Structure 1
Amino acid sequence: MPSNVIVGLQWGDEGKGKITDFLSKNFDYVIRYQGGNNSGHSIHINKNRFILHLIPSGVIYSNVECIIGPGVVIDPKCLIEEIKNLESMGVNTSKIFIAKRAHLIMPYHKLLDIYKEEYLGKNFIGTTHCGIGPAYEDKISRTGIRILDLIDKKSFYKKLKYNVKFKNKIFQKIYNKPSISIDSIYDEYMNYSKILSDKFVNAVRKIHTAFSNNKKILFEGAQATLLDIDYGTYPYVTTSSSTTGGVCIGTGIPPNFINNSFGIAKSYCTRVGNGPFPTEINNKIISNIIRDSGNEYGSTTKRPRRCGWLDLVSLKYSCMINGINYLIITKLDVLNNLDSINVCIQYKFNKKTIDYFPCNIESYNNIECVWKKFPCWKQNITNIRDYDSLPNNCKNYINYIENYLKLKIILISVGSERNQNIIKNKSLFYKIFCS
């Protein structure tokens, strides 16, 4: 049962889409296990840019089957637009499948998302207004509407009627907003069902059949560990389980089906929206250099991302939570032109030095970072494909990360294009992915 998981170790935007795309050619299935269209994966191939929000990154390969798993919340309008966009670029979308157990994002979820953020004022979370959180809230409260409900018109109308009636009370009495109509939503979603119904599958059965047939499977998540609903910087987190533990929850497989967990981290850190960020760079000149060089603007919202130095304390925590076997470092090239690089190796908190990630978000108001400074390499590395050819300062930086985390880095991304990668441990890499 050769399966692997790719998980982000920071606050998202680590380049999971590019890495999943790069590795997908060695797999039969790529399966998305959580999140919604509030995240975006960018894939650059021969100057073409593919933006994926719901569809797994393996879709670019015609031989790879892509499953949107039961743990994902789906906006059908967004999904249809994404499929049409891929088809317009010559991508075969016939091997995209949608889990019947996946929950739907409804128009009232998006409105609730917007209204609640307005209501919170200065204490807003910083959501994408895509309705992800409210959809997961309905799922947990057992009032959600699933993909399979679209197949039964009477069942769908009954559940929709209850939800619209209940949400309208919230709109009117809490947010002082107008009510919404059930009929327009019903017609809209019945049309979506006609377009997508040939892709609806019993995903659990399909995935377990693939395992039985010894197919190679790659699991892909959205967001990242520090945004996990349980283990991230709560409440400034997403609303699903974005760690490797979410794979079992979001696809219906047991833990022993997973062979390896690969953690992806940028050579620096970014964060979107509110929430603690210990290593955030306050120097606008340096942060702007990183932001512009790394194109650190949201794929979904286009919001500029907050930029910071690499945080090895949080990275160690993320590796522990996910049971990471191997590391992948992305966007190393973004640091090319800096004079020096800082790395956080400890926190100072209440006059004590600590090397762990605190539970309480209030703790971060009093945290100071302990830095280790590295000289930069001041050299363009985007065309380098062999690790030994990297500048010494660059290799020293990579080796320090490995030694601190006690994990091997097997792949390094040095550019946004699919082929701009360095395989650091080639024998190990080919044994895992190509055997």
Structure 2
Amino acid sequence: MAVVAVVGAQWGDEGKGHIIDILAARAATVVRYGGGNNAGHTVVNRHGTFKLNLVPAGIFEPNTMNIVGNGTVVNPKHFIGELDGLIARGIVVENLRISDRAHVVMPYHVEQDRLDELLRGDAKIGTTGRGIGPAYADKTARSGVRVGDLRDAVVLRRVLTPIVATKNKLFADFYNAPTYDLDTLVAEYAAYGQRLAPYIGDIYGVVQAALAAKTPMLLEGAQGVMLDIDHGTYPFVTSSMPGIAGACQGAGIAPRALDHVMGVYKAFTSRVGSGPFPSEVEGATAEALRQMGKPWAEVGTTTGRLRRVGWFDAVASRYAAQLNGIDRLALTKLDVLDELSEIKICVGYRLDGQLIDHPPTYADEYDRVEPIYETLPGWLAPTDGVRRWQDLPVNARAYVERVAQLVGAEVSMVSIGPGHDQIIEVLPVL
């Protein structure tokens, strides 16, 4: 048996869906442990190309149980749309469970997200506008709706009554915005609850039974460690914990149950939205990294926004590995670097003339960071058709090995394209 947490180790969009899709065929259980429909996983497999937001990427394996854990926040309307899209394409979804403890993203969360960003003006965070932050804020403030509440209209009304009264005062008095009708919300969300009822349950027993049976389990992360609410580039972060702390809490398992933590890293770096990005590049290099016009272009799966791109940042990547105990590395999109004659890696930061070995605390400090680069020779040869580690160009292997050395983890998988078969497995974790 192995329990493997698959963690995004940069600013999200590292290709976790591709890696999970490969590993899910070997797992008995996949647990999505955090985030909501602000995250997007693109999966290319025998069924086609899919863009998932909250449904676990193991849904394509009929013998794999897929769990949406208690650490997630669920927009039921969006979730039902995601399910219907899968069903319409012939995907069986009976192997899906949603924790009754997961919190619900309500319409007032989405509107509050939008209004807060407007009020921030030039200092806006660049959220996805999906209401995720306000939903997590209400969860922490103990004024949230849980997925299990949706199954019973009487319970839902009891839970929503004080919440809607408080929200309406906030929207009327502070935002000067329209308020919400309790009866309308209860009717709409109780209907969602009835549709989702076959999937909703107490997943604690399911997870513990899988652990007791010693069957392979994957914990599926969303976003990336550098967006962590505590350890990321605050305030330009998400509202949850994408790393292993969130994995254990959001899936309901003990930390000692983990056998491996796989960090998924892109062979370069990308970021969507505002916030620090020391190794960011522009111009011709950025265009080469974005791969515009191709199906795997650097455009946000969820937002459709153009991603900012830059060289691999070993400082941030090592920091993510150390915080999360990453012992296995999956490097994606190596093929994007095929046509570059030289490739840079950010190996250090200089802040106010002083060398620092980990990311600073404050955003204004990031603004003063100067990246220190190491330059490696490119390989100027296609890698998308390679299927064995030893068949990669020498310089490509040297680049991967240097990244692994700087991060401090062993190379497990390397992707050289979006296809299900475009994976080189060096050291299996399952």
- What TM-score do you get using the length of structure 1 for normalisation? 0.96
Q: Counterpart in 1 of 2:256?
A: 256
**Equivalent residues in 2 for 1:22-421 (5 A)?**
22-46=22-46, 48-282=48-282, 284-292=283-291, 294-421=296-423
Q: Distance in 2 between matches of 1:142 and 1:405?
A: 38
Contact 2:153–2:186, Cα closer than 8 Å, also in 1:
no
Seen in structure 2, the aligned counterparts of structure 1 residues 219 and 344 have a Cα distance that, compared at 3 Å, is same
Contact 1:7–1:261, Cα closer than 8 Å, also in 2:
yes
Provide Cα deviations, 1:133-189, integer angstroms capped at 9, x if missing partner. 010011000010101112332221122122222112221222221212222221111
Shift of 1:23: 0.6
Q: Distance in 1 between matches of 2:348 and 2:61?
A: 42
Amino acid at match of 1:182: L
SS of residue matched to 2:346: strand
| Count of equivalent residues | 427
**Stretch deviating more after TM superposition (335-344 or 220-229):** 335-344
**Stretch deviating more after TM superposition (63-72 or 357-366):** 357-366
Gaps of 5+ in 1: none
Contact 2:40–2:302, Cα closer than 8 Å, also in 1:
yes
Shift of 1:46: 4.6
SS of residue matched to 1:263: strand
Q: Distance in 1 between matches of 2:353 and 2:82?
A: 51
SS of residue matched to 1:174: helix
Contact 1:279–1:309, Cα closer than 8 Å, also in 2:
yes
Provide Cα deviations, 1:169-223, integer angstroms capped at 9, x if missing partner. 2212222212122222211111111111011111112111111122211100111
Shift of 1:406: 3.2
Shift of 1:277: 0.3
Contact 1:2–1:215, Cα closer than 8 Å, also in 2:
yes
Q: Distance in 2 between matches of 1:339 and 1:168?
A: 59
Taking only the aligned residue pairs, the percentage that are identical comes to 37
Contact 1:236–1:274, Cα closer than 8 Å, also in 2:
yes
Contact 1:339–1:375, Cα closer than 8 Å, also in 2:
yes
Contact 2:327–2:408, Cα closer than 8 Å, also in 1:
no
- What TM-score do you get using the length of structure 2 for normalisation? 0.97
RMSD of aligned Cα (Å): 1.2
Shift of 1:5: 0.5
Q: Distance in 1 between matches of 2:87 and 2:147?
A: 23
Amino acid at match of 1:3: V
Contact 1:33–1:70, Cα closer than 8 Å, also in 2:
yes
Contact 2:44–2:420, Cα closer than 8 Å, also in 1:
yes
Contact 1:3–1:258, Cα closer than 8 Å, also in 2:
yes
Shift of 1:286: 1.5
**Stretch deviating more after TM superposition (327-336 or 205-214):** 205-214
Shift of 1:341: 1.1
Q: Distance in 1 between matches of 2:154 and 2:397?
A: 62
Provide Cα deviations, 1:407-426, integer angstroms capped at 9, x if missing partner. 2111100000111011123x
Contact 2:152–2:190, Cα closer than 8 Å, also in 1:
no
Shift of 1:120: 0.6
Provide Cα deviations, 1:373-417, integer angstroms capped at 9, x if missing partner. 122211111010111111122112112112223321111000001
Shift of 1:2: 2.4
Q: Distance in 1 between matches of 2:176 and 2:157?
A: 26
SS of residue matched to 1:126: coil
